[in-house]
A and B are shown apart, each in its own frame.
Chain A
């Protein structure tokens, strides 16, 4: 077949993918994402099936019988647990804006930069062999199609003459196009997901076509094929695992490895978690994805049998999918099969390289640049966002080029699956730290670092380094005799454990030691504060699902600084949009000189985490954010989280008797301070709650009117608008009264405001001011003055007016329409002027009488069951009366109305009582 035809078909196919991605991105921008679909989600998860599945499984089956199925049975087996496990991963990741598996692990263990680096290194080095086999598959695919039956030409020494080099470059460009077109803080790439889902259908279709052709075209169905193969000496052994030399141990290890791989491979994490549009899709993916795996594997075994029976050793089993059609003249089917394999390889490379580049730039490059002060600082920067994308692109090129070099030097001597399994074993190293992140609160940063490092070193020593030795890059002495001649250190028989295949052997030791070190170090180290709070957030994510209240550490920064910084990483447009979004969501307006409070700081940090990863974001934020000392309460709360810490402090106190007395004194002093604070805090809490109630209905109804206006009848719209007006009034009333209260409480009565006040005149004048209200409700008002002579007290005229008007409007509120009356009585008794306001309302039940003077107590009106007013009026009244050295009390029986009585000292007591009131 001509090379030009193959290249042309591949290019056409790639153009089709671009088109799909472009269409999907286009409609995603318009708010209609076709990717938000459970089937698309399940199909995109099938990025798990790579060239390994498409070409390699067949090759593997010729030597290992049905053992190749373990790689697909593991993930299918895990699927039932997704309901809990994957859901938790997604909830945590959306809550924390996690963009990669490195981000996930580093976030959990206190946003640790070190861990980010370690996980990234493991992922990149571990996955390079895996990518290399995709490149290899595409290259030998082309070779098989163009030179079928001939020996493959050796790769030329010059890079630019090697086809593989150009395949690599093309793949890098392809990946850069899909993965780095825009910088999205959530790292969502709808177009990419759609293309991957499409590729999953292509590779499945292509493989089924080849399978059907071989089984029903070349043979007369399954029975015929199996009957012939079972008696054929080349294939007889493939029917049984035992006869193929697969031990139970390696079958089990393979299953464990693939079970981890489906969660931990960077591309699987990326597709399953980062690109997930809704956790609702999990339920369906739980059976659709295993079904996909089953379908794509049905014909692997038959094809392997047919190939083995028909071809001699000069045809590599990894190429049977292409060779069988070619040998029988079905060239077009071979081309289709190649496109299927090509799509399997490209989807893997694109998603894997994108995921790795996110990790590589966020956890290695950007922190380095920040440390060396060459990024996000200074004024000569063009645009941080563009630089970030450039870093991503270079990362992709770097990763693919490493894969190419690996393929050229090491990969060529091994078959596809053997190389792929090296990567699976590397990814599995993340398992202990990852699973512990979600289910073991006690796990510490140090434990994770130690476990990962141990696992990685054992892995490297047992798999890739020996494979390099086999390829002649390093001396193979240590394989045969152990490092430094110690036979316990033979990389294929560590500590004398021999007789198993290298992958199972390496997986066993690396995972065992990794888990053990992780556990023992975690148990014996103390976590940092941030580590503790993050641990709680991950393990008990369901507590936090609805709201992000992670601002236990209080932090402040200048808003201008925050803006400038965000500019550098996200670009000016995006930054402005984000701040606007924050302003509308929180109903505030921000200026550059203001100091941002903790929640805004956290908001910025989460946005930044999306762009550059949690650990880097933390570093950047530290440079401009000033951390407030945490209050004692908060420290206590954090301390409570570990028994150990509490135990520690108890022992400390017991040991040090001198400290004990000091502590007691401190506690007492602190207690006093806290009491003062608590009064103020109580007040603020209540006001906030009172504000939230109307704001809640306003926010919800406004949004309803905004979003669904077309669905609403005119009457409904009227009703909602009416509610909005009422609730707005409620807020403004509350604000006014809070302001009044604030003023009244903060300022005692100024001496110059003191004057002789004629209370009868004051009552009459106030009532006249409210005449309109009395008339509307048809309420009779009368004043009875029993004071001999002038009815005067010393006081602040304006405040006393407020007392009277509050009491009158209060009475007015509760008396019945039409038959209601309100009376005022004035008289002297025991040196006090008594002012009584009586009404014929429903009365106040005795148990409520003490309560009504508290802040924010409201009594419901019987008829509507609806309270009116803010609940502050009587409290304000009481405060004013007390500032005058007076007393406010209530007397009432149910059904007999209420009587409020104000007692004000007559002027001769004024001086002494004022002094008393002031103290």
Chain B
């Protein structure tokens, strides 16, 4: 078991969550995995049984019972679980910290508040306070990119002309890897960034030294 979980570790692993959204989704995954394994096994057993002597079942046993009834029951369960978790991880109007992630070929420029509440700009590293919900405004300079910190939450695309919103939160202070998930040309593989979650009482020095954030054309 430990070995199994160790295999799930890694700086970009969705299965090693470090925030509430990623945690919920990981839980959803494990549930769906167990259900899927059971269904695959079940189909295998049904197939194996077909190799015995012919067995007559009414047509509706298969098409309505298994085909409609069984599948609808399973699918409804999964869908409800998905909607419930989806609702939990949405950005909401609760005074969350707002930061900005601006993607370009090929890198990331971030804007975030420092200890004094001024918005400062950093390149390649995003600083957020740990233990507090953060809304990331995701924008793009040139082509479509996607903002993704797998240990904290799902991804959202950075699309020219649009401002997308993603809710993230880190449980504890620490460093997490992030990357561009949407193919964006030659530098796609190396378009990484770092997310530093800091304790609210210990804002990093880098943030104090950072220059004020510049305005964007679409602000």
Q: Do A and B come from one complex?
A: no
Could you list which residues of chain A lie within 8 angstroms of chain B, going by C-beta atoms?
none
